[in-house]
Amino acid sequence: MGTTFWPKDPLDGNDMTLLTSILRRWCARYGIEFTADESRLKAKELVEWFEFGVKDPAELEELIDGKYWLVSRI
């Protein structure tokens, strides 16, 4: 059996608390059940942004809210 190289750090308890709180606020804002399929898709998107390197909670909320187009270009 070979070794798998995984370039991402594992999410710790603090990361999960942060991501869960962001997702819960998103669900509450749009009236979506936390366990709904749409919430699961947003959770996946949220984790992907976090693993990509976005750590700022406000920026993460904007990204999953579809407001990434508001970010100014360099």
Helix, strand, coil shares, percent, the chain, to 5? 60, 0, 40
Q: Is the pLDDT of residue 67 over 60?
A: yes
**pTM for this predicted structure:** 0.78
| Burial (0-12, 13-18, 19+ Cβ within 10 Å), 63 | buried
- Angle formed by the axes of helices 57-64 and 37-52, nearest 10°: 130
Of the candidates 54, 58, 70, the residue with the CA atom closest to the CA atom of residue 21: 58
Residue 7 pLDDT grade (very low, low, confident, very high; cuts 50, 70, 90): confident
Q: Is the pLDDT of residue 53 over 70?
A: yes
Express each pLDDT in 18-49 by its tens digit.
Answer: 999 999 999 999 999 999 999 999 999 999 99
Of the candidates 18, 11, 22, the residue with the CA atom closest to the CA atom of residue 65: 22
pLDDT (0 to 100) of residue 68: 54
Rounded percentage of the chain residues whose pLDDT exceeds 70: 81
